[in-house]
Amino acid sequence: MIELFDSPFSGNAYKCRLLMHKLGLPYRRTVVDIDRGESRTPEFLARNPNGRVPLLLLEDGTHLAESNAILCWLAKGTAWLPEDRLEFAQVMQWLFFEQYSHEPNIATVRYWLTHGFEITPLRAQLIEIKRPQGHAALGVMEGHLASRPFFVGARPTIADMALYAYTHVAEEGGFALKDYPHVRAWLARVTADTPHIAITD
C-alpha cells in the first residue's frame, strides 16, 4: 500500500488526500509533526532531502516529493491529467502558477496568521507584499473562470485540485473572496464534485 507523509495544516497534503479519495485509492496516512521538527530529522531527510511534506512512499520503496508531482503520479493515465498535448500543458501551466504565484502568497500568509506565528516587523512587511500578490493570483483565476467551469476543459483536472486546496481556505489568511464571484462558483462546483473530503477529514 502507498503511504502519504502528511500534515493536517498543509493544503499541499490535502490536495493529495482529496485526489486519492476521488480515485478510491487506499493509502496509509502518517502525520509528520512539523512543529516538533519531525520533517527535519535525519530519518525524514533520508526520505526527502528537501525536508517537506507531503511525501508519497510508493510500493517499490521510491519516495516522491512535491505535492503537484504527487498529483501527476496519481493522475497519470486517468482523466484527471489529460493526455492531449495542449490540455496536458495547460494543466501544467496552472500547477506551476499555483506553486509560484498562489501558494507562496496565500498559503504562507494563512499559515502565519492561523498558526500562532509572531508577526515580526519583517513578517508584517512581507504580508504587505504578499497580500496584493495573492489578490493578483485570485484575479487571474477570476478572469479565467469567467467563461469556464473548470481550469482546463469541461471537467475537473488536477489543476482544479491544486488550486482548490488553498483557495477554499484563503479567507483564513485574510483573503476575502467576495469580489471573486466566479472563483466562488468554481469552489462550489469542485466541492459538489463527489466523492469529496474536507481539509479537516
Binding site for its own copies (CB under 8 A): 49-50, 58, 60, 62, 64-70, 72-73, 76-77, 85-86, 88-90, 92-93, 95-97, 99-101, 103-104, 122, 125, 136-137, 139-140, 143-144
In the bound state with its own copies, the residue whose beta carbon lies nearer, of 133 and 169, is 133
In the bound state with its own copies, the residue whose beta carbon lies nearer, of 143 and 185, is 143
In the bound state with its own copies, the residue whose beta carbon lies nearer, of 100 and 117, is 100
Please state the closest distance from residue 190 (CB atom) to its own copies, in A: 21
d(C-alpha 199, C-alpha 201), whole Å: 6
In the bound state with its own copies, the residue whose beta carbon lies nearer, of 86 and 154, is 86
Q: Among 88, 93, 173, which residue's Cα sits nearest to residue 141?
A: 93
In the bound state with its own copies, the residue whose beta carbon lies nearer, of 76 and 196, is 76
Please state the closest distance from residue 187 (CB atom) to its own copies, in A: 19
In the bound state with its own copies, the residue whose beta carbon lies nearer, of 109 and 137, is 137
Rounded alpha-carbon distances, angstroms, from residue 196 to 55, 100, 108, 161? 21, 26, 25, 11
Please state the closest distance from residue 194 (CB atom) to its own copies, in A: 26
158 is written with which cell numbers? Answer: 488536477
- The H or E element spanning position 4 is strand 2-6
Q: Among 115, 116, 113, 95, which residue's Cα sits nearest to residue 165?
A: 95
85 is written with which cell numbers? Answer: 498535448
- The H or E element spanning position 165 is helix 158-167
User: Does residue 54 have a cis bond before it (omega within 30 degrees)?
Assistant: yes
d(C-alpha 62, C-alpha 68), whole Å: 16
Please state the closest distance from residue 49 (CB atom) to its own copies, in A: 5
The Cβ-side half-sphere exposure at 90, using a 13 Å CA radius, reads: 15
What torsion do the CA atoms of 8, 9, 12, 17 make, to the nearest 10 degrees? 20
